[in-house]
């Protein structure tokens, strides 16, 4: 069964932050963006990259699993929600657990905040604001089949951090065919992508 | 979720609610309209609650398909902005005194009485009108008519002069019509896109989706730009040329196309003229010659020519990068030569496309606010065309003044005292004109300088009288986007405080000047109806366009000559607009820019845009989200150059040109040519890049050369800032860094009843 989901294609990202501006428009968190756009290394390149919640499927939502008060719920469709304000104790476990660095702790509100795939819109068959606004389709919303039919990038939803693999609901788009996105930290402590990860066996869950 | 308002609503009364409503629930109405910013004019809905604009919702319009750039998303925050001008202001104590609150009567009467006195003493032409193109066709038309009928002055021009006037003239020369020949939705049909001097990604972000659709279909992308912009970053071939040397590369590509036998001889013979002249003139431009002039490896130029020349369908897109030049017209014609030689213009998925920058940059230049034009692209010096307009306006032909000064020339007349007073609308001269020290002197020479604006721009700060106007969604009317698509802007709310709609201010001025009978407009629709009549029979014929037709068809492409006519999205399919139906080649040789590097100024300075700001930044620098991303200008420097000048990333540096100098932050990155530096121009006062730029202009269209001048760099010796008297306490409630800050114009909750 194919589901509607987000596809993130950094090669198309122009760093305009329309997604951030649009995310701030949401009634549920007006003025706050749950998506982040970063220059990867401005002193070297103009390249930019948006970061959204990837909505991990396997292991299922590490952020929710480490939450001591079960504040982070997962919808039947597999969308991982922001922490429930009445439960969150601002312990930041989720912040440390997330492999993608997505949840942010709002210290003033004492509440974890993150992207919930615009659940109010997507559950009504509308697009999430970020993909709706994105002028270059670097963020794109639809099914895998539609994407494969219309576009040239190679979407993957398997990310390997060192030796730990994570399967997510949201896809990353790679320029070339590969089964997964691989990142690891080499012996010199430099983050690299591609083959070559060494080290201990996966330990998460 | 929402109620969508009927598109052409003019009622300002909120509909009464029937039945029970929860007291904490505000009904949202979605008003369909378009963005206030660039020439793409993306469709959007404005959310309106209780007479206030509260947000934005996506609108699936044919050319933006629901997408918006960050400027579009936050455009609505201009409406309730705390900086809005809410009442007229006047400098009662003369120059040097403060702007003080005035009543409309006082301000209007003062202006009218000054104007009448000046005109009596110095003649009609002592008053000028300096207009703009980021407003509706109705207002642009009205400004032209106000100058010529209301004031009777020949000096009326607009800021499109600084924008794409060179492209407009090039298209009129080559094709007989100044309009992009096809809609954006045709871009995916092409096999190759050559972008000459346009950072499409940052200046027209929403257009990128069409480029990417073409690339998904296998199209190749070639980009000519001295910087590795987000557009150039992923291009198949990037030609990082020296600013101002575009013709060398374009001619070398044309020479390759000729030598490889890739020209479309049949097309050239059947549909064009003057091909022989071009053939000869490009002969000397070998790739090596082009390499020497433009500083791009010959191999790369050949690769670009191969890709372009072998593509069955190819598009050339160009914008300010080649147009802001002392030979801007030539640059555009060189692009057109290449497209014509390949037989592309008039094919679906092929041709040349100028990307007009301002919101209504296309419409603004055809409805008669240009120094040498009357509505409908009519010429001011052709008797029959003058007569046609005189009839619409109800005045004798002899009363229409002749051609006036171009915007860039007007400044000189203000400085010399020939122009005594100027009405400025929709323009911010202090940021937008080159060499702004001269502009400041010229403006201070005016008495009175009258400005209509909705924010106090750098120009309005110098004004003697300021009239508070309206933002785009407080009025209705049409704009014509960069494709030539006429679209409808709808009213969402009314102007705040005492502010008035711009057209009402201008009509009131006309009335008090005793010319009221020519300006008896009750609504902007009245103005549009007169514009339709005035443009009838002209090149840009709007006579068949009605507001209803725009709604029905999702925009109407001009020319549209009758009720039945649905408009022409694609031009030149069978014939060009010249009388003989043929396009013209123009022989173009490389001419260097007006100012080239010297020993004292060894670098080339080029200016341009960032995605967060629009034009002079008067609007976008006030919107918190946008301004926080790019609050001040910077200078982009290649690491090699930075090393040579002893400058490090993030350091303060001084950039100096023969006209002036400014201090800014250095961004050291290999995303620019080593012999070139770049500064974005959206900022005012000490942040204005136009303190540095060269005021030299193209001889025919008077467009300034913003894109290249000679410059040098120096480090600013940073002395340690003195320590404050008391220790500063960090992380207090007041100064703790907030992770999710609100910005100006944003509110957390919807308006309370």
For position B439, what pLDDT does the model report?
Answer: 97
Residue B16 has pLDDT above 50, yes or no: no
Residues of chain B with CATH 3.40.50.740: 90-163+380-557
Spatial contact of A72 and A102, defined as CB atoms under 8 Å apart: no
- CA quadruple B551, B552, B558, B563: dihedral positive or negative? negative
What's the whole-number mean pLDDT along residues B180-205? 97
Of all residues in chain A, the one with the smallest CA distance to B742 is A31
- At residue B486, what are phi and psi to the nearest 5 degrees? -85, 125
Three-state DSSP class for residue B21: coil
Long-range contacts of B229-233 (CB under 8 A, 24+ apart): B229/A46, B229/B199, B229/B201, B229/B202, B229/B671, B230/A13, B230/A14, B230/A15, B230/A46, B230/A48, B230/B199, B230/B201, B230/B202, B231/A14, B231/B195, B231/B198, B231/B199, B231/B200, B231/B201, B231/B202, B232/B199, B233/A45, B233/A46, B233/A47
User: What is the DSSP-derived secondary structure letter of residue B207?
Assistant: G
For position A204, what pLDDT does the model report?
Answer: 52
| Rounded Cα–Cα distance for residues A67 and A87 (Å) | 10
* Pairing verdict, β B485-489 and B477-480: antiparallel
- For the domain B603-715, what is the CATH code? 2.40.40.20
Residue B20 has pLDDT above 70, yes or no: no
Fold of B90-163+380-557: Rossmann fold (3.40.50)
Residue A71 has pLDDT above 70, yes or no: yes
| Distances, alpha carbon B543 to alpha carbons A119, B179, B372, B539, B672, in Å | 47, 17, 22, 11, 47
pLDDT band at residue A190, thresholds of 50, 70 and 90?
confident
For all residues of chain B together, what is the average pLDDT?
93
B326-359 per-position pLDDT tens digit: 999 999 999 999 999 999 999 999 999 999 999 9
Residue B4 has pLDDT above 90, yes or no: no
For position B673, what pLDDT does the model report?
Answer: 96
The single residue listed with the structure tokens 């009364």 is B13
CA angle B2, B6, B7 (to 5 degrees): 110
Which among A14, A104, A133 has the least Cβ separation from residue B201?
A14
pLDDT band at residue B50, thresholds of 50, 70 and 90?
confident
Helix/strand/coil (H/E/C) assignment for every residue in A144-163: HHHHHHHCCCEEEEEEEECC
Burial class of residue B609 in the structure, from the number of CB atoms within 10 Å of its CB (0-12 exposed, 13-18 middle, 19+ buried): buried
Query: Which residues of chain B lie closer than 8 angstroms to A122, CB-CB?
Result: none
Interface test with A, best of B740, B743, B745, B746 (most A CBs within 10 A): B740
As for the ipTM of the complex, it is 0.94
For position B737, what pLDDT does the model report?
Answer: 56
Of all residues in chain B, the one with the smallest CA distance to A22 is B73
| Rounded Cα–Cα distance for residues A28 and B749 (Å) | 10
Q: From start to end of B413-484, where are the E strands?
A: 421-425, 449-453, 465-468, 477-480
For position A1, what pLDDT does the model report?
Answer: 56
All structural domains of chain A with their residue ranges: 5-34+44-193
Tell if the CB–CB gap between A20 and B70 is shorter than 8 Å.
Answer: yes
Tell if the CB–CB gap between A134 and B629 is shorter than 8 Å.
Answer: no
For position B14, what pLDDT does the model report?
Answer: 41
CATH of B3-78, one of 2.20.25.90, 3.50.50.60, 3.30.70.120, 3.40.640.10: 2.20.25.90
Tell if the CB–CB gap between A14 and B746 is shorter than 8 Å.
Answer: no
> For residue B465, which of B6, B115, B78, B63 has the smallest C-alpha distance?
B115
Q: Cβ neighbours of residue B189 under 8 Å, at least 6 residues apart? A: B214, B313, B348, B349
| Rounded Cα–Cα distance for residues B208 and B200 (Å) | 7
| Rounded Cα–Cα distance for residues B70 and A24 (Å) | 11
* Pairing verdict, β B237-239 and B477-480: unpaired
Three-state DSSP class for residue B30: strand
B633 Cα distance to chain centroid: 20
| Distances, alpha carbon B562 to alpha carbons B12, B367, B390, B535, B549, in Å | 31, 18, 22, 12, 11
Residue B744 has pLDDT above 90, yes or no: no
Tell if the CB–CB gap between A47 and B216 is shorter than 8 Å.
Answer: no
| Rounded Cα–Cα distance for residues A155 and A144 (Å) | 8
Residue B266: left (phi > 0), alpha (psi -120 to 50), or beta?
Answer: alpha
> For residue B374, which of B259, B234, B538 has the smallest C-alpha distance?
B538
| Rounded Cα–Cα distance for residues B466 and B459 (Å) | 10
Tell if the CB–CB gap between B209 and A135 is shorter than 8 Å.
Answer: yes
Q: Taking each helix axis as running N to C, give the angle between helix B246-259 and helix B275-282, from 0 to 180 degrees, rounded to the nearest 10.
A: 110
Q: Taking each helix axis as running N to C, give the angle between helix B246-259 and helix B287-294, from 0 to 180 degrees, rounded to the nearest 10.
A: 170
| Rounded Cα–Cα distance for residues B659 and B680 (Å) | 17
Asked if A151 has any chain B CB less than 8 Å from its own CB, the reply is yes
Which among A108, A124, A133 has the least Cβ separation from residue B73?
A133
| Rounded Cα–Cα distance for residues B129 and B155 (Å) | 6
What's the whole-number mean pLDDT along residues A45-59? 94
pTM score of the predicted model:
0.93
Burial class of residue B71 in the structure, from the number of CB atoms within 10 Å of its CB (0-12 exposed, 13-18 middle, 19+ buried): buried
> For residue A54, which of A171, A179, A193 has the smallest C-alpha distance?
A171
pLDDT band at residue B10, thresholds of 50, 70 and 90?
very low
Query: Which residues of chain B lie closer than 8 angstroms to A30, CB-CB?
Result: 746-749
DSSP annotation string for B629-696: HS-S-EEEE-HHHHHHHT--TT-EEEEEETTEEEEEEEEE-SSB-TTEEEEE----GGG-GGGTSEEE
| Distances, alpha carbon B582 to alpha carbons A81, A199, B270, B739, in Å | 62, 71, 8, 61
Strands of the sheet containing B485-489, edge to edge, are: B477-480, B485-489, B556-557
DSSP annotation string for B516-585: GGG---SSHHHHHHHHHHHHTTSSS--TT--HHHHHHHTSEESP--SSS--B-SS--SS--SSTTS-EE-
| Distances, alpha carbon A139 to alpha carbons A102, A183, B175, B557, in Å | 16, 21, 39, 31
Query: Which residues of chain A lie closer than 8 angstroms to B739, CB-CB?
Result: 104-108
Q: Cβ neighbours of residue B301 under 8 Å, at least 6 residues apart? A: B239, B249, B252, B253, B287, B290, B291, B294
DSSP annotation string for B596-607: ---SSS-EEEEE
Q: Please, how many CA atoms are within 13 Å of residue B382, restricted to the half-sphere of its CB? A: 11
Residue B1 has pLDDT above 60, yes or no: no
Spatial contact of B670 and B639, defined as CB atoms under 8 Å apart: yes
Cα torsion through B482, B485, B488, B489, rounded to 10: 0
Residue B19 has pLDDT above 50, yes or no: no
For position A107, what pLDDT does the model report?
Answer: 87
Cβ atoms within 10 A of the Cβ of B393, count?
19
Which among B55, B58, B739 has the least Cβ separation from residue A106?
B739
- CA quadruple B235, B169, B164, B583: dihedral positive or negative? negative
CATH of B165-354, one of 3.40.228.10, 3.40.50.970, 3.40.50.300, 3.30.1330.60: 3.40.228.10
| Rounded Cα–Cα distance for residues B549 and B556 (Å) | 7
| Rounded Cα–Cα distance for residues B577 and B581 (Å) | 6
DSSP annotation string for B698-743: -TTT--EETT-EEEEEEEPP-PPPPPPSSPPPPS-TTTSPPSS---
pLDDT band at residue B69, thresholds of 50, 70 and 90?
very high
Which among A18, A124, A150 has the least Cβ separation from residue B69?
A18
What's the whole-number mean pLDDT along residues A98-111? 91
Query: Which residues of chain A lie closer than 8 angstroms to B667, CB-CB?
Result: 42
Q: Regarding predicted confidence, which is higher, B717 or B467? A: B467
What's the whole-number mean pLDDT along residues B605-618? 97
Q: Please, how many CA atoms are within 13 Å of residue B247, restricted to the half-sphere of its CB? A: 24
Residues of chain B with CATH 2.20.25.90: 3-78
- Exposure string for A96-109, b = 16+ CB within 10 A, e = fewer: ebbbbebbbbbeee
For position B721, what pLDDT does the model report?
Answer: 54
B441 Cα distance to chain centroid: 25
Element holding A197 (H helix, E strand): none
| Cα of A204 to nearest chain B Cα, Å | 29
Which among B206, B231, B625 has the least Cβ separation from residue A24?
B625
| Rounded Cα–Cα distance for residues A155 and A52 (Å) | 16
For all residues of chain A together, what is the average pLDDT?
91
Residue B609 has pLDDT above 60, yes or no: yes
Tell if the CB–CB gap between A25 and B747 is shorter than 8 Å.
Answer: no
For position B9, what pLDDT does the model report?
Answer: 42
Of all residues in chain B, the one with the smallest CA distance to A35 is B740
Which among B72, B201, B670 has the least Cβ separation from residue A136?
B201
Query: Which residues of chain A lie closer than 8 angstroms to B230, CB-CB?
Result: 13-15, 46, 48
Asked if A86 has any chain B CB less than 8 Å from its own CB, the reply is no
Spatial contact of B648 and B642, defined as CB atoms under 8 Å apart: yes
CATH of A5-34+44-193, one of 3.30.70.20, 3.40.1280.10, 2.70.70.10, 2.30.42.10: 3.30.70.20
Query: Which residues of chain B lie closer than 8 angstroms to A133, CB-CB?
Result: 58, 66-69, 72-73
A115-150 per-position pLDDT tens digit: 999 999 999 999 999 999 999 999 999 999 999 999
pLDDT band at residue A31, thresholds of 50, 70 and 90?
confident
| Cα of B480 to nearest chain A Cα, Å | 20
For position B328, what pLDDT does the model report?
Answer: 96
Q: Cβ neighbours of residue B406 under 8 Å, at least 6 residues apart? A: B157, B161, B371, B701, B702
What's the whole-number mean pLDDT along residues B409-416? 96
For position B21, what pLDDT does the model report?
Answer: 43
The single residue listed with the structure tokens 């982009």 is B636
Residues of chain B with CATH 2.40.40.20: 603-715
Q: Which tokens go with B43?
A: 């469709």
pLDDT over 90 for what percent of chain B?
91
B286-317 per-position pLDDT tens digit: 999 999 999 999 999 999 999 999 999 999 99
Residue B22 has pLDDT above 60, yes or no: no
Q: Which tokens go with B158?
A: 């607009």
pLDDT over 70 for what percent of chain B?
92
Weakest-pLDDT range from B89-93, B289-293, B717-721: B717-721
For position B8, what pLDDT does the model report?
Answer: 45
Query: Which residues of chain B lie closer than 8 angstroms to A25, CB-CB?
Result: 55-56, 73
Residue B726 has pLDDT above 80, yes or no: no
Tell if the CB–CB gap between B205 and A135 is shorter than 8 Å.
Answer: yes
Element holding B482 (H helix, E strand): none
Tell if the CB–CB gap between A152 and B738 is shorter than 8 Å.
Answer: no
Tell if the CB–CB gap between B233 and A45 is shorter than 8 Å.
Answer: yes
B201-248 per-position pLDDT tens digit: 999 999 999 999 999 999 999 999 999 999 999 999 999 999 999 999
What's the whole-number mean pLDDT along residues B87-109? 96
> For residue B120, which of B451, B421, B380 has the smallest C-alpha distance?
B421
For position B18, what pLDDT does the model report?
Answer: 43
């Amino acid at each position: 069964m194919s589901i509607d989901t987000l596809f993130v294609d950094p090669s198309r990202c122009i760093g305009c932050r329309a997604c951030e501006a649009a995310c701030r428009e949401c009634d549920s968190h007006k003025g706050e963006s749950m998506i982040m756009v970063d220059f990867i290394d401005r002193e070297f390149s103009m390249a930019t990259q948006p970061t959204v919640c990837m909505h991990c499927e396997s292991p299922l939502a590490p952020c929710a699993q480490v939450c001591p008060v079960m504040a982070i719920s997962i919808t039947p469709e597999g969308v991982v929600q922001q922490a429930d304000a009445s439960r969150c104790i601002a312990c930041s476990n989720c912040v440390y657990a997330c492999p993608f660095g997505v949840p942010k702790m709002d210290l003033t509100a004492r509440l974890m905040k993150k992207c919930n795939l615009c659940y109010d819109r997507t559950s009504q068959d509308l697009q999430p604001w970020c993909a709706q606004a994105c002028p270059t389709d670097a963020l794109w919303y639809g099914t895998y089949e539609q994407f494969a039919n219309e576009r040239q990038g190679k979407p993957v939803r398997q990310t390997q951090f060192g030796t730990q693999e994570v399967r997510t609901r949201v896809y990353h788009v790679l320029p070339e065919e590969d089964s997964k996105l691989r990142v690891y930290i080499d012996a010199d402590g430099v983050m690299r992508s591609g083959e070559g990860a060494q080290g201990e066996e996966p330990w998460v869950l | 979720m929402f109620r969508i308002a009927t598109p052409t609503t003019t009622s300002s009364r909120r509909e009464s609610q029937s039945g029970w409503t929860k007291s904490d629930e505000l009904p949202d109405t979605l008003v369909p309209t378009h963005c206030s910013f660039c020439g793409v004019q993306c469709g959007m809905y404005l959310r309106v609650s209780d007479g206030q604009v509260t947000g934005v919702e996506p609108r699936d319009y044919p050319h933006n398909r629901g997408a918006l750039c960050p400027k579009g998303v936050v455009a609505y925050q201009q409406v309730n902005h705390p900086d809005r001008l809410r009442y007229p202001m006047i400098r009662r104590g003369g120059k040097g005194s403060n702007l003080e609150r005035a009543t409309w009567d006082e301000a209007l009467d003062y202006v009218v009485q000054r104007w009448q006195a000046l005109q009596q003493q110095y003649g009609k032409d002592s008053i000028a009108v300096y207009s703009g193109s980021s407003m509706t066709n109705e207002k642009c038309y009205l400004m032209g008519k106000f100058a010529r009928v209301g004031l009777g002055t020949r000096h009326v021009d607009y800021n499109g002069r600084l924008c794409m006037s060179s492209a407009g003239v090039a298209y009129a020369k080559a094709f007989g019509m100044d309009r992009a020949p096809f809609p954006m939705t045709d871009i995916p049909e092409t096999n190759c896109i050559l972008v000459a001097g346009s950072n499409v990604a940052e200046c027209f972000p929403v257009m990128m989706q069409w480029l990417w659709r073409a690339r998904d279909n296998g199209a190749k992308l070639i980009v000519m730009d001295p910087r590795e912009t987000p557009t150039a970053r992923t291009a198949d071939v990037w030609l990082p040329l020296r600013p101002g040397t575009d013709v060398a590369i374009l001619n070398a590509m044309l020479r390759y196309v000729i030598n490889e036998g890739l020209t479309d001889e049949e097309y050239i013979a059947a549909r064009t003229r003057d091909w022989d002249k071009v053939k000869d003139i490009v002969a000397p431009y070998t790739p090596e010659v082009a390499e020497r002039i433009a500083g791009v490896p010959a191999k790369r130029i050949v690769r670009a020519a191969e890709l372009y020349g072998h593509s069955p369908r190819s598009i050339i897109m160009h914008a300010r990068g080649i147009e802001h030049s002392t030979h801007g017209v030539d640059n555009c014609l060189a692009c057109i030569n290449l497209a014509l030689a390949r037989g592309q213009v008039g094919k679906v998925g092929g041709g040349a496309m100028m990307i007009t920058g301002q919101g209504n940059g296309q419409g603004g230049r055809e409805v008669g606010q240009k120094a040498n034009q009357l509505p409908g692209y009519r010429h001011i010096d052709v008797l029959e065309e003058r007569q046609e307009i005189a009839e619409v306006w109800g005045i004798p032909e002899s009363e229409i003044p002749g051609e006036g000064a171009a915007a860039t020339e007007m400044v000189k007349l203000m400085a010399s005292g020939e122009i005594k007073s100027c009405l400025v609308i929709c323009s911010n001269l202090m940021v937008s004109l080159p060499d702004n020290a001269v502009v400041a002197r010229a403006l201070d020479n005016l008495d009175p300088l009258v400005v209509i604006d909705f924010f106090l721009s750098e120009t309005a700060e110098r004004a003697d009288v300021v009239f508070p106007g309206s933002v785009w969604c407080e009025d209705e009317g049409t704009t014509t986007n960069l494709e030539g698509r006429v679209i409808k802007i709808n009213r969402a709310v009314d102007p705040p405080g005492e502010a008035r709609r711009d057209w009402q201010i201008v009509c009131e001025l006309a009335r008090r000047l005793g010319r009221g009978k020519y300006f008896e407009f009750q609504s902007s629709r009245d103005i549009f109806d007169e514009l339709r009549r005035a443009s009838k029979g002209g090149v840009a014929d709007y006579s068949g366009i009605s507001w209803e037709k725009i709604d029905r068809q999702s925009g109407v492409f001009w020319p549209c000559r009758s009720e039945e006519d649905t408009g022409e999205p694609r031009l030149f399919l069978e014939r060009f607009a010249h009388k003989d139906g043929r396009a013209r080649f123009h022989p173009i040789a490389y001419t260097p820019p007006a100012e080239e590097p010297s020993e004292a100024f060894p670098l080339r300075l080029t200016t341009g845009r960032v995605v967060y700001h629009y034009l002079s930044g008067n609007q976008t620098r006030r919107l918190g989200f946008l301004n926080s991303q790019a609050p001040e200008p910077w200078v982009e420097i290649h690491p090699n150059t930075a090393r040579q000048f002893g400058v490090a990333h993030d350091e303060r540096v001084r950039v100096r040109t023969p006209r002036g100098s400014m201090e800014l932050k250095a961004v050291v990155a290999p995303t620019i040519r080593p012999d070139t530096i770049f500064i974005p121009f959206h900022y005012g006062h000490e942040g204005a890049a136009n303190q540095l730029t060269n005021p030299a202009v193209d001889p025919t269209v008077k467009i300034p050369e913003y894109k290249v001048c000679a410059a040098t760099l120096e480090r600013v010796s940073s002395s340690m800032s003195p320590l404050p008297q008391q220790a500063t306490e960090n992380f207090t409630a007041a100064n703790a860094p907030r992770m999710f800050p609100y910005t100006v114009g944003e509110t957390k909750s919807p308006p309370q009843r």
